[in-house]
Structure 1
Amino acid sequence: MSGRQFGSRVRRFASGALALGVTSALLTALVPGAAQAADSEVDRGGWTARISRTEYGVPHVLAHDFGGLGYGYGYAFAQDNLCQLADQVVTARGERSRHFGPDGQSVDRVGNLVSDTYQQGVLRTGTVKRLLATPAPLGPTDEARQLVDGYVAGYNRYLRDTGPDHLPDPSCRGKDWVGPITADDVWNILYEVNTMSGSAAAKQQIATAVPGAGDALASGAAPAAGAAPAAGAALAPGTSEEAAAVPLIGAPGRSADNPELGSNAWAIGRDASRNGNGLLLANPHLHWAGPERFYQAQLTIPGVLDVAGAGLYGIPFLQIGHTRGLAWSHTTSYADHFALHRLTLVPGDPTAYLVDGKVERMVEEKVQVAVRAADGTPSTVDRTVYRSRLGYVLANGWTGQYAYTFGDANAENLRSLNQWLAIGRAQNLDQLRQAQRTYQGLPWVYTTAVDSTGTTWFTDASAVPHLPDEQLGRCLAAVTPLGPVLDGSTTACDPGSDPDALVPGVFGPANHPSLTRTDYVANANNGPYLTNADAPITGLPTVYKGASERMLRSQLSLRMIADRRSGTDGLGAPGFTLGSLQATMFGNRVQSAELDRDDAVALCRAHPVIAGSDGTQVDVRPACDALAAWDTRADADSHGTVLWQAYRDALARTGTTAWQTVPADPAQPLTTPRGIDAANPDAQRALADAVKDLATRGLPVDAPIGSVQRWAGTPLHGCSHQLGCFNVLMTAGPDSGTGGGTYPTNLRTVPHGTSFVMATELTDHGPRTRTLLAYGESANPASPHFTDQTRAYARKQWMTERFTEAEIRTAPGLTITTLRR
């Protein structure tokens, strides 16, 4: 597209905006002379971008090239969230302790000194710089580089125009840690996101590793050769003391302290929709604070790219969205994205280890972390990060005999931006598949997609270590709940490779789990096995967690689809429409209640007075009445959800499932395990404890969920993953402050769960889309877009997306800004 054509389109938008009465203060350089200036600027190699803001402040960025697109997107994002990105940059540079002190906490709940030590170690490896110097597809494409350069320039332009002392967000206004950013900062943030399910989730263990200082491990018999679990089965915890001492590394969506993080995604095909169109529901679950927030936008280069959706903070493109002919979403993959190996150390030298009988030495990355004391006094802390041939060395278990090493399957991944750019240009599933084969950049997510033919596709195209079950059995040294620990003393236990894999050590596209259907594919963070209830994906290697037990939420997900297809959910005739897809999303059904509520009522009817765990007699009859009257939903005004959560929490604390009457049954994967045994003492005590818990908190037994689940004073619907809510939303109370920068001290106190929600129907006339960004476009409490969509979420009020030029032009309150560089 020529500069003159771009100027012509800008003039058309300007005239439309003026006709709507947009004030000159909100319209920057949108007169014919300015358009001509833009043409000459383009001829000199400059960037031009137009930002149109529609309802709720959603930016629609129009440019004639990728540099201009990044320029507009970076500027728009900085208008809303400059402080958040500035904080991410401080983290990526390993400078949190310098600005906020060593004892504060970063967003991933590790101390600032730990975060800085880890990040400085990453920078010392030079991995990102090396990948940046590598041609595509392993390195960034020219388009990706232009996009990042433009994004940085747009951010810096807003900062320069506004001035650090006049920023609208008080959390960083006038702070010494706010300044211009570089392209390296953005690439380092992207690398951090790519390794979220790997080394970035193990920062504490990596940054605190000291040679020989780990806890001594009692001798325990290692599993026998060939003892790998059956293909597709979840690995069970080991029984040896050694296995128990191996560190458990958290990962997005499945860490022990953060089980809510995950997502739902449905692709509805022509055979399951009422009119034969394809539909997609995107429902990622992430924190409402910190860099895991989504930012909604539309990015357009006429004739080249037109994509709408949402992207994570700090990444200059969208990760979830739709084009005219394709819609897709991501959910957290439960496959292994790292490999743990046990190193056999050289006696007397804890930084040397044996490989095939030969001695190899660990690489020692020495880092210096600048630290500011509470009184402002600066100092420097010296630390060392250790790496083996198989990855970072961990703190736990590092004795004089063994050390454990962590191999991240995404350690060489800077390709994800290439991947998302290619997806954003795709118009059908063939082009989406080709994008995956070309770049193989998706780090730790499943992909669920549908195109305008009404064909759906699911795949786990994430980076998964190439560890077939035979190799797991032959190399197994210990077992943990998150995966096997392999023998690192022989190269025979290194991850292998597929011939179609771009990088060594991972499965290639030909071996990725995938399913194509014309009815539906769906994922709610369950393994690939029941992507479609009628077409199980079988025969997968154990590392893909293929046949893991159905979680309550994933069970409900498939039941909701079945009920809509049969028309038994009360939402009208069978088959999905855009309206019924929206209604299903916010139906707020609770799987555990649908399976077990009646049993709980029967229990308390049979035992009206029960002794709690402390022996106190508790009258549970009011609780019984509340449960019996409950609608088994998690609407904000549902009376009984709070009590049910307390009861399920108390049942979990028993540490047993003996209270269940029906065990897990592979023949009934969507409704088992289930049932509560009224005669079981644990089940009885748990109910008494739940009633006492609510009384201690000053809550009536019939308290509605909206009375305890609020954000900025707004009652919220939705409930926990553990209850089996599809619409996951939880908060434990108001934010308790910050640990430096803009990160909350305790992310468990702020909402997490449903964030960006998108329902899209791909019609012959283009996409019809409804969206909600549950926390709004801005993290700045002073912004009008901080909680405007939170209030809409509370009302279950979706926004009609504006995708075409005509739709954007007629938006009430439209504002337009044109930037030239």
Structure 2
Amino acid sequence: MKLRPRPAALIALVLLAFTVTLTGTNAPAAADDARYSATIRRTEYGIPHISAKDYGGLGFGYGYAFAQDNLCVLASWAVTLRGERSRYFGATAKSDDPVSPVTNLASDVYYKSVADSGVVRRLLARPAPVGPSDELRRLVDGYAAGYNRYLADTGVANLPDPTCRGKAWVGPITAMDIWNNLLDLNRMVGSSQLKEAITGVGEPETEGPVKRPAAGSNGWALGREATRDGHGMLLADPHFPWNGIRRFYQVQLTIPGVLDVSGGSLYGTPVVQIGHNASVAWTHTVSHAQRFTVYQLKLAGDRTSYLVDGRAEPLGRQEVEVTLQDGTVAGHTLYTSRYGPVLAAGHTDEVAYALADANAANLRAADEWLAMARANDLTQLRAAQDAYQGMPFVHTLATDAGGTAYFADSSVVPNVTDAQARRCAKPSPIPGLEAYVLDGSTSACLWGKDRDAVVPGIFGPANQPKLTRADYVANSNNTFWMTNPSEPLTGFQRAWGVAGTELEPRPRVSLDMIDRRLSGTDGLGTPGFTLDTLQATAYAKRNYSFELMRSDLLKLCRSHPEPTASDGTRVNVREACGTLRDWDGRATVDGQGAILWREFFTRLGRPTGPEEPGFSPWRVPFDPARPLTTPRGLKRDDPAVRQALADAVLFFQANHIPLTLTPGRAQRYSSIPLPGCTEGEGCFDRVRMRVQLGVDGRYPEVDTGSSFMMAVELTPDGPRARTVLTYSLSANPASPHHTDQTALFSRGQWVTGRFTEAEIAADPQLRTTTVRG
């Protein structure tokens, strides 16, 4: 069978099913009885403020506005979710998943299996809270219709983004595409990162540890005792991918008298994930809790069934077909069990392994975010989380106008107690897998049931780590226990993460930044946070590893000015040491010494030989009794440390790279120079590049890091917010909003939030569009 191009006439007929009129501000309005109606007002940097009289109209306006800026990204992702990437882009090319990219064939087999399983259809048949609410259903329907209306108005051949203009793979989307995207977001740190282990296509996980997704975040919720004026304040700094479907889109969504929320919304979702309304603000950070377990199956003699409590249960069989670029069809067989999909990895004649993902049937998160957006205070926000229990993999940090700070890991976690994990433990089929492996041959090892859990098998609200305070709560992807050092959280099951463990440099600098601001020792004036000092603190660009090691490094420089590199070369490091001595330790755009330090520090963590895979450069090791001040110092007398310094300096010298190389010259995004340093160095608003420094003194483009930054103060007169979308609003390289906020981020500037009607109307760049359909 040959692949035939999609006829243009057919596309037009499908798109014209969504009829609409588009009018300028002063143009005549369409009929009042239109099914969908929304107003899109764009303020500076193209930020859309969408209002409608109902949820369907709101979704319609949002889908239309989003398509104006980012249609190509969602069009490509719809192809992914349908399992059609091999057909259009080739089976061996990499998929467009920005978190867990795999070959298109592996991606297609996985997503076809999800669609064929019918999980979304079953959830759509359920009432809320397990199934979607009526409000969310109307939002999703409207969103798909709005996207399609824009595509019909513009035409595939006339799309402004050259990335997908005229491409055969661009077409209308359906509400099912949006539901599948919402489900996949919730599975992001579970099934979706194990596509190859599930499908057997590639299976790289069998060769090394399964790593957490490249997403992190910082979050601060400040209460009345931490702020100068006694208002609740919040800092949101999610670290998500800078490309693809997991980017944030900045938007305000309003139904007068019902909903009014502003913030960051992940691509292809019709709700705000991180944001604020008039009296509540919240953000999220990725949690360390378990999201799935693996069950070892004891196979029966014929290997087509497995034993549970001595009785045989047949393995399910799923036949998946993927259309390839030449029109041929590739068949693939997957197997399932009562626990979930059977992994291709680790099976023998006696055992197999199945994946049990706590988010496998979770569509509840979108309704939870929608309910949080309607909350008037923290009591209502907590009630929303307890009602839906759908947060897929994140902590929640929130504050309200009353000045209370709140933290919760209210995420979806398998109900496995420590005692059960010990009793049921089995060897892992995947080296380095960060999940419990349990005995699947006995029902005694099934997940437990909490009475207050909205679905069986997860921990209920009574067992979740939570903390409410009047000063602050903070998290930078550390476990829950150091949310506030004055009140450590302990006593929770290890499935939530482990208390008493070492804090990485980024969480430590985060807590140190708050402590210095509250004591007034950070050089920003009177103790306590204001909106201005909150912004300044977040943009300080401190490199905490350098601060902790600087003194020992300078002593090393004086005692060993010509250390030996790993190739035996003696290297004169005097000039390099002078550069580091003069550097202020901040990863600003013009920070001379920041890149030299990074190249030295990252070499400290690299194994120096098979006998030393976990070398630690810290002079004072971690002490659980002193989590905020240990580890610290540099092992300046260790030969491995001296060698790392020599290797770093030799790399600069050999490639004629200036030792004063700055972040602005070394790291960029779409040609914009960027500040910041990496996770391991202990930078608060961090950046990430997948490859080390090149011989030209440049890194590949930044692909992850601070994404939607928001500082908000909840005053009696309404919210005051400052935001910056680091990669800007549009992925379209031809858009005026492709890098305009990126340039702001480079300069350390923010956008003044416009939330009220008066603030929006006062924008001299205001553009208003009405869409009806």
**Scaled by the length of structure 1, what TM-score is found?**
0.87
Preserved CA contact (<8 Å) 1:27 1:815: no
The residue aligned with 1:322 is 276
The Cα shift of 1:693 comes to 2.5
Secondary structure of 2:127 counterpart: coil
1:572 counterpart letter in structure 2: G
The Cα shift of 1:117 comes to 0.1
Moved more, 271-280 or 710-719: 710-719
The residue aligned with 1:296 is 250
Does residue 695 (structure 1) correspond to residue 690 (structure 2)? The answer is no
Q: Structure 2: 5+ residue runs without aligned partners? A: 1-20, 608-612
Structure 2 CA distance for partners of 1:171 and 1:457, relative to 1, 3 Å: same
Q: Which residue of 327, 334, 342 maps to 2:288?
A: 334
Preserved CA contact (<8 Å) 1:326 1:451: yes
- Aligned equivalents of 2:617, 2:523: Cα separation in 1: 32
Does residue 68 (structure 1) correspond to residue 57 (structure 2)? The answer is yes
Q: How does 1:100-499 map to 2 (within 5 A)?
A: 100-106=89-95, 107=97, 108-208=100-200, 248-252=209-213, 258=214, 261-347=215-301, 349-372=302-325, 377-478=326-427, 480=432, 482-499=434-451
Secondary structure of 2:217 counterpart: strand
Preserved CA contact (<8 Å) 1:209 1:396: no
- Aligned equivalents of 2:526, 2:26: Cα separation in 1: 52
- Cα deviation digits, residues 625-656 of structure 1 (max 9, x gap): 11111111110111111111111111111334
- Aligned equivalents of 1:696, 1:704: Cα separation in 2: 18
The residue aligned with 1:28 is 23
Secondary structure of 2:225 counterpart: coil
Q: How does 1:604-619 map to 2 (within 5 A)?
A: 604-619=557-572
The residue aligned with 1:233 is none
- Cα deviation digits, residues 3-61 of structure 1 (max 9, x gap): xxxxxxxxxxxxxxxxxxxxxxx992544952xx45x325xxx2110000000000000
- Cα deviation digits, residues 763-790 of structure 1 (max 9, x gap): 0000000000011100000000000000
The residue aligned with 2:636 is 678
The residue aligned with 1:644 is 597
Secondary structure of 1:267 counterpart: strand
Secondary structure of 2:74 counterpart: helix
- Cα deviation digits, residues 745-778 of structure 1 (max 9, x gap): xx97443101100000000000000000011100
The Cα shift of 1:390 comes to 1.3
Does residue 56 (structure 1) correspond to residue 67 (structure 2)? The answer is no
Preserved CA contact (<8 Å) 2:605 2:617: no
Moved more, 338-347 or 325-334: 338-347
Preserved CA contact (<8 Å) 1:209 1:385: no
- Aligned equivalents of 2:618, 2:651: Cα separation in 1: 22
Q: How does 1:616-627 map to 2 (within 5 A)?
A: 616-627=569-580
- Cα deviation digits, residues 253-281 of structure 1 (max 9, x gap): xxxxx4xx200000010001111011000
The residue aligned with 2:664 is 706
Moved more, 706-715 or 49-58: 706-715
The Cα shift of 1:670 comes to 1.6
The Cα shift of 1:536 comes to 0.4
Secondary structure of 2:632 counterpart: coil
Does residue 80 (structure 1) correspond to residue 38 (structure 2)? The answer is no
Moved more, 547-556 or 798-807: 547-556
The Cα shift of 1:248 comes to 3.7
Does residue 546 (structure 1) correspond to residue 535 (structure 2)? The answer is no
- Aligned equivalents of 1:656, 1:820: Cα separation in 2: 61
Moved more, 698-707 or 573-582: 698-707
Moved more, 163-172 or 387-396: 387-396
Secondary structure of 1:767 counterpart: strand
Structure 2 CA distance for partners of 1:324 and 1:97, relative to 1, 3 Å: same
Preserved CA contact (<8 Å) 1:137 1:438: yes
Preserved CA contact (<8 Å) 1:758 1:770: yes
Does residue 657 (structure 1) correspond to residue 615 (structure 2)? The answer is yes
Secondary structure of 2:510 counterpart: helix
The residue aligned with 2:18 is none
- Aligned equivalents of 2:210, 2:487: Cα separation in 1: 32
The Cα shift of 1:732 comes to 5.8
Secondary structure of 1:618 counterpart: coil
- Aligned equivalents of 2:669, 2:299: Cα separation in 1: 52
**Scaled by the length of structure 2, what TM-score is found?**
0.93
Secondary structure of 1:354 counterpart: strand
- Aligned equivalents of 2:27, 2:564: Cα separation in 1: 80
Preserved CA contact (<8 Å) 1:598 1:628: no
- Aligned equivalents of 2:322, 2:206: Cα separation in 1: 29
Aligned length: 736
1:530 counterpart letter in structure 2: M
The Cα shift of 1:672 comes to 1.1
Structure 2 CA distance for partners of 1:369 and 1:481, relative to 1, 3 Å: closer
Preserved CA contact (<8 Å) 1:246 1:396: no
- Aligned equivalents of 1:819, 1:469: Cα separation in 2: 55
